[in-house]
C-alpha cells in the first residue's frame, strides 16, 4: 500500500507539469488579439497607449517560455495565478468567488443522479432483457442522449408558456435563505444530473450483470436465499465499488456541463466564468481556471484511487 | 488505473473480425436485442437522411422567407418555420447530414489518433509509454467542453476546425482503450513467433496486432460517435461551433433564435428531439453490440438467467471474437 501510494504520488508530478503546460500554451498560441482589443477600446481615452506599453504591463513582452516559468514561479511561491487582463482583479479571487456556485450545483446534480441511477440500474440488471430493463435502459440512454442545453431550454420555455413560471435570476446566498437557495439550484441541478444518471445507470447495470455471474452469487442462490437478500446483501455491495470510481470521472463532466447549464440559468459559477473569459480573451483567467479545474480533477481521482483499496478488500496494491 | 484494467483484460484472445460473424451478429441483434435493433434502424435512417438530404428536404436549408416566419406546423411546412421563415423540416434534414459528416469524420480521426498512440504505447512500453500516459492523464483532467471551447477560440469556428478539434480531444482520450487491448494482444504466441522469425516492428504492429484489436476499435467507434455528435451540438449551442447559416442542430437552439422560442416553441423542441433520437439510437445500438459481443456478459455456467436462448449455439464461435472495453474513461 505504501509503495503504491508513493508511486501514485510520483506519477502525479509529471501529470501536473503537463497539465500546467497544456493550460498555459493552449490559449497563448495566438497572442496579440487581446492587445488589439485593448487598443481599440482605449482609443477614446486620453492616455497614449502603444502595443509595447500594454505588452510590458501584462508581462507579454518576454518569450513564451520565460512567461511560463514566471507564471509557475508565482503559483508555487505565492499561490498567485496572476491578474485578470480586463478587470485587474486577482485570478484566485475571481475563481474563489465562483467556486461555491459550481460546487453546490455539482453536488445537487450528483445526488440527484445517484438517487435516480442506482435503483434503476440494479433493477435493469436483475430483470435483463425484460420490458422493465428496456424501459430502464431507455431512461438511462435518454439521459446520455438528451443534450443538457436542450433540456435546460425546454425547462425554461414550456413552464413559462403554460404556467408563466420562470427561473429566478437572482442568486440567494445559502446562509441567508437555505430553502430559497436550494430552490434556485434544484432545476439546474436536475438538468445537469440527468446526463450523469444515464452513465451511472449503465455502469451500475453492467457491473451488476458481471457480479450476478460470479460463483458466490450462485452459492447464495444455492443456499436458498431470497432474491432480495442475494441482490441487496451480496450483489449490490460488490457492484457499487466500481461505480464509486465513476464519481472521479464525473468531475470533468460536471464542470463541462456547468459551462452550459450556468449559461442557460444565468448562475454565476465557474462555467460561466470560463465562457466570459473566453469571450474576453482574458488569458490569465482561462489558464488559471483550467489549472484549478485540472488539479481538482487529479486530486479527486487520487483520493478515489486510494480509497478504492480501503473499500474493496479484494484489491491489494503491490 | 489503466494498468489495473489491462491486467484484468490480459489473457483474452482476440481474433480478427470475419464476414461470417458480421452476418451472425445482425441475425442475433434482431432476434435477441430488440432495443438494439431499433437503434440500428435509427442509425440507418440517419445515414440515409444524411446522404439523400438534397432529395428529401422540401426547401433549402437557408431559404429565407420573412412572410412565413414563425409559422406553426402546416401542410406547407410540416414542422413550422423559424424566425427567418426557413422551413424547420428542411433544416432538420440538412442538419442530419451535417451531424453525420461531423460525427463520422471526427470519430474516424479520433480513432486513428487513438490507434496510433494506443498501439505504440502499448507495444513499446518503457519510458515512452510512461511519458505518454502522464500526458494523456494531464489531457484528460480538463473537461472536454472546456478544452473544446478554448481550442475553438484559438483556431476559430468552422466545420473542419471543429472536426479536427473533436478528433484530437477524443482521440487522445480513447488511446487508453487501444493501449489496454494492445497490451493483452502482444503477449500472444503468434506475436512472439513473428518477432522470432524477424518480422519488422511495423509489420508486427500492422499485420499481427492491428487486426487483432479490431473488435475494441469497432466498439470504440460506435460509442464515440454519439459523444462527438453531442459535443459538436454543444459547441454550436454556445455559438462556438459551425457558424450560423449552417443547419447544425445545436446551433438552431442558440443565438437569435432563442428570443423567438417563446412564440414558436417548435423551434426549440424539434432540433433537440432530433438530436436526442439520434444519440439514443447510436447508443442502444452500441450497447446491444457490446452485450452481444462481450463474452463476459453472455450466459455461461454461472449465468444469472439460466434460460438459454435459441440461436445461441449456432453462433457460439463468435463469442471469442469480440469483447468490449470496460470502465472506459471519457
Considering only residues A166 and A154, tell me which one the structure prediction assigns the higher pLDDT: A154
Identify all chain B residues contacting A17, using CB atoms and an 8 Å cutoff: 138
Residue B327 confidence class, pLDDT cut points 50, 70, 90: very low
At residue B106, the pLDDT reads 93
B-facing residues of A in 132-151 (CB < 8 A) are 134, 137-138, 141-142, 144-151
At residue A55, the pLDDT reads 67
Cell numbers representing residue B199 in the block: 518480422
Identify all chain A residues contacting B173, using CB atoms and an 8 Å cutoff: none
Considering only residues B71 and B15, tell me which one the structure prediction assigns the higher pLDDT: B71
Q: Which of A224, A33, A250 is nearest to B153 (CA)?
A: A33
Q: Give the orientation angle of helix A237-265 with respect to helix A148-162, to 10 degrees.
A: 60
Taking an 8 Å cut-off on Cβ atoms, the answer to whether A256 and B303 are in contact is no
**Per mean pLDDT, which range of A18-22, B104-108, B248-252 is the poorest?**
B248-252
B-facing residues of A in 49-88 (CB < 8 A) are none
- Specify whether the CB–CB gap between B68 and B115 falls below 8 A: no
Is the sign of the CA dihedral A149, A150, A151, A157 positive or negative?
positive
Considering only residues B133 and A145, tell me which one the structure prediction assigns the higher pLDDT: B133
Nearest beta carbon to residue A274 from set B144, B149, B326 = B149
Q: If you count residue pairs, one on A and one on B, with CB atoms under 8 Å apart, how many are there? A: 183
Residue B324 confidence class, pLDDT cut points 50, 70, 90: very low
- Specify whether the CB–CB gap between B250 and A147 falls below 8 A: yes
In angstroms, the separation between the Cα of residue A177 and the nearest Cα of chain B is 31
Nearest beta carbon to residue B134 from set A14, A209, A259 = A14
Helix (H, G, I), strand (E, B) or coil at A111: helix
At residue B116, the pLDDT reads 92
| pLDDT tens column, A169-195 | 666 666 666 777 777 788 888 888 888
Neighbours of A294 (CB within 10 A): 28
SS (H, E, C) B236-298: HHCCCCCCCCCCCCCHHHCCCHHHHCCCCCHHHHHHHHHHHHHHHHHHHHHHHHHHHHCHHHC
Name the one residue in this structure whose C-alpha cell is 416566419.
B69
Name the one residue in this structure whose C-alpha cell is 474576453.
A280
Helix (H, G, I), strand (E, B) or coil at A217: helix
Q: Is A60's pLDDT higher than 90?
A: no
Distance between CA atoms of B215 and B293, rounded to whole angstroms?
9
Q: How many helices (H) and strands (E) does chain A have?
A: 13, 0
Distance between CA atoms of B289 and B216, rounded to whole angstroms?
11
- A297 contacts chain B (CB < 8 A): yes
For an interface test with B, the pick among A256, A315, A318 (most B C-beta atoms closer than 10 Å) comes out as A256
Considering only residues A52 and A3, tell me which one the structure prediction assigns the higher pLDDT: A3
At residue A242, the pLDDT reads 77
Cell numbers representing residue B174 in the block: 480513447
Q: Which residue of A has its CA nearest to B151?
A: A26
| pLDDT tens column, A219-244 | 888 888 888 888 888 888 888 877 87
Nearest beta carbon to residue B154 from set A27, A134, A305 = A27
Our CA angle for B255, B260, B262, nearest 5°, is: 125
Nearest beta carbon to residue B276 from set A146, A158, A259 = A146
DSSP code of A233?
Answer: I
| pLDDT tens column, B277-290 | 888 888 888 877 77
At residue B129, the pLDDT reads 87
| pLDDT tens column, A114-145 | 888 888 888 888 887 788 888 887 788 778 77
At residue A43, the pLDDT reads 56
Identify all chain B residues contacting A239, using CB atoms and an 8 Å cutoff: none
B-facing residues of A in 90-109 (CB < 8 A) are none
Residue B107 confidence class, pLDDT cut points 50, 70, 90: very high
| pLDDT tens column, B146-170 | 888 888 887 777 888 889 989 998 9
B-facing residues of A in 5-44 (CB < 8 A) are 11, 14-19, 21-23, 26-27, 29-30
Taking an 8 Å cut-off on Cβ atoms, the answer to whether B253 and A153 are in contact is yes
Distance between CA atoms of B315 and A126, rounded to whole angstroms?
25
What percent of chain A is predicted at pLDDT more than 70? Answer: 80
Nearest beta carbon to residue A297 from set B141, B279, B304 = B141
**Per mean pLDDT, which range of A222-236, A262-276, B234-248, B290-304 is the poorest?**
B290-304
Nearest beta carbon to residue B144 from set A147, A206, A256 = A256
B-facing residues of A in 246-275 (CB < 8 A) are 249, 252-253, 255-257, 259-260, 263, 274-275
Q: Which residue of B has its CA nearest to A210?
A: B297
Residue A33 confidence class, pLDDT cut points 50, 70, 90: low
Nearest beta carbon to residue A256 from set B146, B283, B329 = B146
Considering only residues B325 and B169, tell me which one the structure prediction assigns the higher pLDDT: B169
At residue B2, the pLDDT reads 39
Distance between CA atoms of A280 and A17, rounded to whole angstroms?
27
At residue A35, the pLDDT reads 64
ipTM of the complex: 0.79
**Per mean pLDDT, which range of A91-105, B73-87, B112-126, B171-185 is the poorest?**
B73-87
Burial B45-74 (b: 16+ CB within 10 A, else e): ebeebbeebeebbebebebeeeebbbbeee
Identify all chain B residues contacting A14, using CB atoms and an 8 Å cutoff: 131, 134
Q: Is A47's pLDDT higher than 70?
A: no
| pLDDT tens column, A71-92 | 777 777 776 777 776 677 777 8
Nearest beta carbon to residue B234 from set A146, A147, A298 = A147
Neighbours of A301 (CB within 10 A): 24
At residue A71, the pLDDT reads 77
A172 contact partners, CB below 8 Å, separation of at least 6: A180, A181, A184
DSSP code of B81?
Answer: B
Q: Is A154's pLDDT higher than 50?
A: yes
Cell numbers representing residue A144 in the block: 446520455
Residue B125 confidence class, pLDDT cut points 50, 70, 90: confident
Burial B192-219 (b: 16+ CB within 10 A, else e): eebeeeeeeeeebbeebbbebbbbbbbb
Considering only residues B9 and A35, tell me which one the structure prediction assigns the higher pLDDT: A35
Considering only residues A194 and B66, tell me which one the structure prediction assigns the higher pLDDT: A194
In angstroms, the separation between the Cα of residue A46 and the nearest Cα of chain B is 31
In angstroms, the separation between the Cα of residue B143 and the nearest Cα of chain A is 4
For an interface test with B, the pick among A27, A141, A165, A307 (most B C-beta atoms closer than 10 Å) comes out as A141
Identify all chain A residues contacting B29, using CB atoms and an 8 Å cutoff: none
Prediction pTM value = 0.79
At residue A164, the pLDDT reads 66
At residue A101, the pLDDT reads 85
**Per mean pLDDT, which range of A24-33, B29-38, B147-156 is the poorest?**
A24-33
Residue B110 confidence class, pLDDT cut points 50, 70, 90: very high
Identify all chain A residues contacting B139, using CB atoms and an 8 Å cutoff: 18, 22
Q: Return phi, psi of residue B312, to 5°.
A: -75, -40
Determine the average pLDDT of the residues in A189-212: 85
Residue A61 confidence class, pLDDT cut points 50, 70, 90: low
Residue B105 confidence class, pLDDT cut points 50, 70, 90: very high
- A153 contacts chain B (CB < 8 A): yes
- A317 contacts chain B (CB < 8 A): no
Determine the average pLDDT of the residues in B184-191: 83
Distance between CA atoms of B57 and A62, rounded to whole angstroms?
55
Mean of the per-residue pLDDT values for chain A?
A: 78
Helix (H, G, I), strand (E, B) or coil at B87: strand
Q: What is the DSSP string of B144-157?
A: HHHHHHHHHHHH--
Amino acid at each position: 500500500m505504501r509503495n503504491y501510494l508513493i508511486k501514485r504520488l510520483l506519477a502525479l508530478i509529471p501529470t501536473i507539469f503537463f497539465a500546467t503546460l497544456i493550460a498555459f500554451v493552449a490559449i497563448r498560441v495566438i497572442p496579440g488579439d487581446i492587445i488589439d482589443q485593448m487598443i481599440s477600446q482605449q482609443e477614446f481615452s486620453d492616455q497614449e497607449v502603444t502595443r509595447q506599453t500594454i505588452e510590458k504591463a501584462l508581462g507579454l513582452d518576454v518569450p513564451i517560455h520565460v512567461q511560463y516559468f514566471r507564471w509557475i514561479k508565482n503559483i508555487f511561491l505565492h499561490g498567485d495565478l496572476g491578474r485578470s487582463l480586463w478587470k485587474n482583479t486577482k485570478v484566485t479571487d475571481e475563481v474563489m468567488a465562483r467556486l461555491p456556485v459550481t460546487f453546490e450545483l455539482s453536488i445537487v446534480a450528483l445526488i440527484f443522479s445517484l438517487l435516480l441511477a442506482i435503483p434503476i440500474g440494479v433493477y435493469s440488471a436483475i430483470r435483463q432483457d425484460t420490458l422493465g430493463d428496456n424501459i430502464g435502459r431507455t431512461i438511462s440512454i435518454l439521459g446520455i442522449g438528451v443534450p443538457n442545453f436542450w433540456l435546460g431550454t425546454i425547462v425554461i420555455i414550456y413552464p413559462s408558456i403554460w404556467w408563466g413560471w420562470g427561473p429566478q435570476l437572482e442568486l440567494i446566498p445559502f446562509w441567508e435563505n437555505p430553502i430559497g437557495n436550494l430552490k434556485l439550484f434544484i432545476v439546474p441541478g436536475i438538468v445537469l444530473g440527468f446526463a450523469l444518471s444515464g452513465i451511472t445507470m449503465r455502469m451500475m447495470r453492467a457491473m451488476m450483470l458481471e457480479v450476478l455471474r460470479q460463483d458466490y452469487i450462485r452459492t447464495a442462490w444455492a443456499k436458498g436465499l431470497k432474491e432480495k437478500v442475494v441482490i441487496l446483501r451480496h450483489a449490490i455491495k460488490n457492484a457499487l465499488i466500481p461505480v464509486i470510481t465513476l464519481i472521479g470521472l464525473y468531475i470533468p463532466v460536471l464542470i463541462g456541463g456547468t459551462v452550459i447549464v450556468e449559461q442557460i440559468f444565468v448562475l454565476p459559477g465557474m462555467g460561466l466564468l470560463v465562457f466570459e473569459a473566453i469571450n474576453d480573451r482574458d488569458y490569465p483567467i482561462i489558464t488559471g481556471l483550467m489549472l484549478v479545474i485540472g488539479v481538482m480533477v487529479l486530486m479527486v481521482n487520487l483520493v478515489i484511487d486510494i480509497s478504492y483499496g480501503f473499500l474493496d478488500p479484494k484489491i491489494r496494491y503491490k | 488505473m489503466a494498468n489495473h484494467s489491462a491486467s484484468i483484460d490480459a489473457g483474452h484472445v482476440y481474433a480478427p473480425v470475419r464476414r461470417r460473424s458480421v452476418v451472425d451478429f445482425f441475425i442475433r441483434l434482431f432476434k435477441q436485442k430488440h432495443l438494439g435493433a431499433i437503434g440500428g434502424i435509427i442509425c440507418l435512417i440517419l445515414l440515409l437522411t444524411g446522404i439523400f438530404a438534397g432529395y428529401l428536404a422540401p426547401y433549402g436549408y437557408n431559404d429565407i422567407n420573412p412572410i412565413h416566419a414563425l409559422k406553426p406546423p402546416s401542410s406547407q411546412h410540416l414542422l413550422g418555420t423559424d424566425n427567418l421563415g426557413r422551413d424547420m423540416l428542411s433544416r432538420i434534414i440538412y442538419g442530419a447530414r451535417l451531424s453525420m459528416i461531423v460525427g463520422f469524420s471526427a470519430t474516424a480521426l479520433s480513432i486513428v489518433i487513438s490507434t496510433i498512440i494506443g498501439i505504440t504505447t502499448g507495444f513499446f512500453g518503457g519510458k515512452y509509454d510512461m511519458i505518454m500516459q502522464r500526458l494523456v492523464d494531464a489531457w484528460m483532467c480538463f473537461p472536454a467542453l472546456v478544452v473544446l471551447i478554448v481550442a475553438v477560440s484559438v483556431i476559430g469556428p468552422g466545420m473542419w476546425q471543429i472536426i479536427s478539434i473533436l478528433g484530437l480531444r477524443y482521440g487522445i482520450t480513447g488511446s487508453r482503450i487501444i493501449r489496454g487491448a494492445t497490451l493483452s494482444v502482444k503477449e500472444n504466441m503468434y506475436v512472439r513467433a513473428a518477432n522470432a522469425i524477424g518480422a519488422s516492428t511495423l509489420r508486427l504492429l500492422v499485420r499481427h496486432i492491428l487486426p487483432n484489436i479490431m473488435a475494441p476499435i469497432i466498439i470504440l467507434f460506435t460509442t464515440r460517435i454519439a459523444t462527438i455528435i453531442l459535443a459538436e451540438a454543444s459547441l454550436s449551442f454556445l455559438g462556438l461551433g459551425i457558424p450560423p447559416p449552417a443547419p447544425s442542430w445545436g446551433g438552431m437552439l442558440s443565438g437569435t433564435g432563442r428570443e423567438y422560442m417563446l412564440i414558436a416553441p417548435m423551434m426549440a423542441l424539434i432540433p433537440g428531439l432530433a438530436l436526442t433520437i439520434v444519440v439514443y439510437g447510436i447508443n442502444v445500438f452500441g450497447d446491444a453490440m457490446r452485450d452481444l459481443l462481450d463474452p463476459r456478459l453472455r450466459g455461461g455456467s454461472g449465468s444469472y438467467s439460466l434460460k438459454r436462448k435459441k440461436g445461441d449455439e449456432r453462433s457460439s464461435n463468435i463469442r471469442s471474437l469480440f469483447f468490449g472495453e470496460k470502465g472506459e474513461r471519457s
